[in-house]
Amino acid sequence: MGRILVVGTADTKAEELAFLAGVIRARGAEAVIVDLGTRGPAPLAADIPAEEVAACHPGGVAAVLGGTDRGRAVAAMGLAFAEFLRRQTDLSGVIGIGGGGGTSMITAGLRELPLGLPKIMVTTMASGDTAPYVGISDLILMPAVTDLAGLNRISRRVLHNAGGAIAGMAAVAPPEAEGKPALGLTMFGVTTPCVTEITARLRGEYDCLVFHATGTGGRSMEKLAESGLLSGFLDMTTTEVADLLCGGVLACTEDRFGAVARTGLPWVGAPGALDMVNFGTPDSVPARFAGRLFYHHNPQVTLMRTTAEESRRIGAWIAGRLNLCEGPVRLLIPEGGLSALDAPGAPFHDPAADAALFAALEAGLNPGPDRRILRLPHHINDPAFAEAAVAAFRSLT
């Protein structure tokens, strides 16, 4: 077992850091206390002092410590800690403790750690919108319950459990990775038959990693690609772009398809579920969309049908992004419909909107030997469409 880093601000959390490190050491692991304090001298002599972490900032220690603006110091220390972690080897896990500022600094680093390396953040911020802290990492947020302002009967139990958890995870050898290369696939409930069929056809050759196209799903897939963990994409559900351009809640970022361009990995994709924009409960839909066509997927999910004009904008945006890709690209057009809701007799069936999308994709995509668009007379969930997607991918590898 390698080292477990125990991270926090020793100027305000010295007692808690020492207790947590003791719990981990009692389980036979090596605990190394890392100080991220920015307020001055600490009552605890950390194994790795704040100055050593701050020195990892591009501007050096002076860019982090010694100033009077705590907000700037916290942001700078988060940047320094992220770089500090990138330089570490022989780690078996990292656990942090903190309130608002500490959580911001520590999770900035935890998000940079490799997928699968145990990472826990014990925090008072483990409620509400935690997306800024977690991002697309696999870090675990553990509620502190009480504030971390000295040990008490609650914080002792919480930290005891957290220390046991990180030590236990670090002690268990990770499963052996399959020898097959991995593929990234995107799926929504309304494109499940398509992706399930593709996975069944490729499972013997590839480790198929399916990502829920919820904004974070696409980002996670692309991060894995840039980490060298994917061998290609079957990006059948690009619905996140509709949310980005139309104000939905499951939006990708402006960098969608960026990893495809930067890695040059083979990409086969489709405009899956671009017939819809996602919102939460019905009362969460912005007033400007009054009078639009909606489908209540469940009490927490309200779907809005994209219009022909929105579809044109979406198609042009996707085509522009794919034009940046120098690797092999095959964009498949399912003329029979984009999702389970977009079929004859289904709530979102709108041939005019689909035609606008397809025309924009064809007009915007710059064709070439390695960049092609293929129209298919199938619905996206027809087995024949999945078969064509598999054949297209195999032609690129």
Mean pLDDT of 144-158: 92
Report the number of secondary-structure helices (H) and strands (E) in the chain. 13, 14
CA distances from residue 151 to 154, 380, 384 in whole angstroms, order as listed: 8, 57, 62
Query: Where does the pLDDT of residue 224 fall: very low under 50, low under 70, confident under 90, or very high at 90 and above?
Result: very high
- Domain made up of 3-171: CATH architecture: 3-Layer(aba) Sandwich (3.40)
DSSP string, 210-267: EEE-SSHHHHHHHHHHHTT--S-EEE-B-THHHHHHHT-SS---TTTTHHHHHH---E
Query: Where does the pLDDT of residue 173 fall: very low under 50, low under 70, confident under 90, or very high at 90 and above?
Result: confident
Q: Which fold, 182-396?
A: Rossmann fold (3.40.50)
Query: Where does the pLDDT of residue 115 fall: very low under 50, low under 70, confident under 90, or very high at 90 and above?
Result: confident
What integer pLDDT is reported at residue 165 of this predicted model? 97
pLDDT digits (tens, 9 = 90+) for 13-58: 999 999 999 999 999 999 999 999 998 777 778 999 999 999 999 9
Beta-strand pair 276-279/301-305: antiparallel
Beta-strand pair 294-298/140-143: unpaired
Judge whether residue 264 has pLDDT over 70.
Answer: yes
Give the domain ranges of the chain: 3-171, 182-396
**What's the pTM value of the predicted model, to 2 decimals?**
0.83
Judge whether residue 285 has pLDDT over 80.
Answer: yes
Fold match flag (3-171 vs 182-396) = yes
pLDDT digits (tens, 9 = 90+) for 322-371: 999 999 999 999 999 999 999 999 999 999 999 999 999 999 999 998 99
